Amino acid sequence: MICGRANEADWQEIRSAPFMLQMIAPRRLISLQGVGKTYKNGATALAGVDLEVRDGEFLTLLGPSGCGKSTILRLIAGLDSPSTGVLTRSFDDVGAALGFVFQEPTLMPWASVFDNVYLPLRLRGLSRQSAGPAIMEALGLVGLAASAKAFPRELSGGMRMRASIARALVLRPLLLLMDEPFAALDEIARFRLNDDLLRLQGAAGATIVFVTHSVYESAYLSTRILVMAGGPGRIVAEIASEDRSPRDENFRSSPAYARICAKASQALQDAMQGDY
Amino acid sequence: MRPMRWVQEYGPPGLVFAALLAGWEVFVRLADLPPYILPSPALVLETLVTDRATLFPALLTTLKITLGALAAAVLGGGGLAILFSQWKWIERSFLPVAIVLQVTPIVAIAPLLLIYLEPSSAVLVCAFLVAFFPILSNTALGLASTDRNLVDLFQLYRASRWRTLLLLRLPAALPYFLGGLRIGGGLALIGAIVAELAAGAAGQGAGLAFRILEAGYRLNIPRMFAALTLLSLTGIAIFAVLSVLSAYLLGRWHESAMSAER
């Protein structure tokens, strides 16, 4: 916990909301029932999606490009609304309870790393000074404390993504939504960020919904994988990772990991078969 | 190492410029051209000094009009662009008018303006009109090209439209605005000059363009060149100031302000 100085009261109000919810929340944070999404141009992105996000899990949506994975994240975040079906959240204040990480780091190029991470707090009315400790804590979590004053273009791709994650974490969200965040990174950076992300999840106690088209990434990270198929987007398989061993380099070469990869690959292949 | 770099950077263009002037001077002397055909650079410089009582007040007049018009264009163009970005129906209603005015060579309306306005106001309005549109269209483009994901992020955090404009759209549009400003700065000077030429106004408030006309009627060719030199220096100064401003504002974050070595 951070010990704020001046505006401890503000802090408590803002930060306790998700924590309180966490204590009294049902095990289901998000639930989608028969959700479909048709855009104005007539394209159907999703049809009949049933899905729930459970407290504390690492849920991955795995599927080919254009199968509606990102649409599900946008619906959960309230950036779009479903055309059919029902979406319920266990919380009201979406801005406080959710963190969103895009495929691109999506940082404001004119602002320092510090000010980029300050953004969610700023939009909630906190002064730069009283937000300072929380910002530095979030930057510390992603290993960027030393780069607080740097500008985005002075950072590597991996560091920019870390800054983006710090911004998503700074409000201590209940639920972190990540839309193929590491797709643009090289494999070495991706592996490191995968490990860091799991460590962060442990430290921040957040639930994560993660979108990827990498079977290996999904197998490494997830407690549960939902395999999706396109045209229109739907969920075709669910793979629960029964293995609870620590996720590290050893896990990457373990039989359990190979089993999940095989299952996910097979499900993905079955899903794609219908499309061709 | 440092002075070496400086020489490498500014040496070649400086040499070319000096060579041009020297060639001009030598040509005039060798061909024995009279000053009313082509004055030498030395004579132009001399005229600048001897005629300063006429030329510098004229420079001040032209400069005042140009900067006033540019300031009005920044307020008008930038303000209208913000209105466009906030209310689409305003953009839809005004954009055709803006485009018609933009594709019409505005300087051609200078004689018309002179019918309706005092010469000094006509010059100001003409300079304003030509500087206005590049600033409007560039700023509008910048405001419209804000990163979609960042807009989504602001929406996720329930930012008001006002805060989204202030914290996101305006900074994102800044490089575009500064590009428009640099174009507008050059055009404001052109607009002022064209209108002055069309007005042909004499007397106390006469600008540099009128001094050029007047000197031409009197076959005072060295003074024409001197006035032209001042105009050229004014254009350079406006461009330099706006470039420095741009580098200062965008310094650490925008591609356009970065040196190529990085």
Select the residue from A101, A110, A124, A180 to test the B interface by mutation, using most B Cβ atoms within 10 A: A110
Phi and psi based region of residue A168 (left: phi greater than 0; alpha: psi -120 to 50; beta: remaining): alpha
Whether chain B has a CB inside 8 Å of the CB on A143: the answer is no
Q: Which residues of A touch B168 (CB under 8 A)?
A: 108
Residue B94 structural domain: 41-46+56-251
Contact B163 A123 (CB under 8 A): yes
Q: Nearest CA to B29 among B21, B20, B37, B40?
A: B40
H helices of B32-118, in order, are: 41-50, 52-86, 88-103, 110-116
Q: List the CATH number of the domain containing B185.
A: 1.10.3720.10
Whether the bond between B171 and the residue before it is cis, its omega within 30 degrees of 0, is: no
ipTM, interface predicted TM-score of the complex: 0.83
Return d(Cα A107, Cα A110) in angstroms, integer. 9
The predicted structure's pLDDT at residue A25 = 43
Please provide residue A6's backbone torsions phi and psi, each rounded to the nearest 5 degrees: -70, -55
Within-domain flag for B135: yes
Out of A35-49, A197-211, A259-273, B190-204, which region has the weakest mean confidence (pLDDT)? Answer: B190-204
Burial of A271 (0-12, 13-18, 19+ CB in 10 A): buried
Within-domain flag for B35: no
Residue with the two structure tokens 């407290």: A55
pLDDT tens column, B137-157: 899 989 988 999 999 999 999
pLDDT tens column, A137-174: 999 988 899 999 999 999 998 899 999 999 999 988 99
pLDDT tens column, A113-132: 999 999 999 998 899 999 99
Distance from CA of B156 to the nearest CA of A (A): 6
Given A94, A109, A154, which is nearest B156 (Cβ)? A94
Distance from CA of B235 to the nearest CA of A (A): 29
Q: Nearest CA to B134 among B93, B63, B190, B62?
A: B190
Interface residues on B facing A, Cβ-Cβ cutoff 8 A: 147, 149-150, 152-159, 163, 167-168, 171-172, 174, 252-255, 258
Distance from CA of B145 to the nearest CA of A (A): 13
Q: Tokens in use for B124?
A: 């100001």
- What is the three-class DSSP state of A248? coil
Q: Tokens in use for A205?
A: 């106690």
pLDDT tens column, A233-251: 888 888 887 766 677 778 8
Do residues A48 and A37 touch, judged by C-beta distance below 8 A?
A: no
Return d(Cα A199, Cα A142) in angstroms, integer. 10
The predicted structure's pLDDT at residue A4 = 38
Select the residue from B157, B164, B246 to test the A interface by mutation, using most A Cβ atoms within 10 A: B157
Burial of A189 (0-12, 13-18, 19+ CB in 10 A): middle
Whether chain B has a CB inside 8 Å of the CB on A149: the answer is no
Single-letter amino acid, residue B65? I
The predicted structure's pLDDT at residue A6 = 41
DSSP per-residue letters across A143-156:
T-GGGTT--GGGS-
Within-domain flag for B27: no
pLDDT tens column, B19-52: 999 999 999 889 988 888 889 898 999 999 998 8
Return d(Cα A41, Cα A190) in angstroms, integer. 36
| Helix/strand number for chain A, H first, E second | 10, 9
Between B155 and B258, the more confident residue is B155
Contact B168 A110 (CB under 8 A): no
Distance from CA of B259 to the nearest CA of A (A): 13
Q: CATH 3.40.50.300 occupies which residues in chain A?
A: 27-91+175-276
Contact B174 A110 (CB under 8 A): yes
Within-domain flag for B89: yes
Given B147, B156, B258, which is nearest A98 (Cβ)? B156
Within-domain flag for B104: yes
The predicted structure's pLDDT at residue B258 = 58
The predicted structure's pLDDT at residue B110 = 80
Q: Which residues of A touch B147 (CB under 8 A)?
A: 106
Burial of A49 (0-12, 13-18, 19+ CB in 10 A): buried
Do residues A202 and A167 touch, judged by C-beta distance below 8 A?
A: no
Q: What is the mean pLDDT of chain A?
A: 84
Query: What total number of domains does chain B contain?
Result: 1
The predicted structure's pLDDT at residue A9 = 52
- Partner residues linked to A84 by β-bridges: A36
> Among residues of chain A, what percentage have pLDDT more than 90?
38
CATH superfamily of A27-91+175-276: P-loop containing nucleotide triphosphate hydrolases (3.40.50.300)
Select the residue from A101, A153, A167, A170 to test the B interface by mutation, using most B Cβ atoms within 10 A: A153
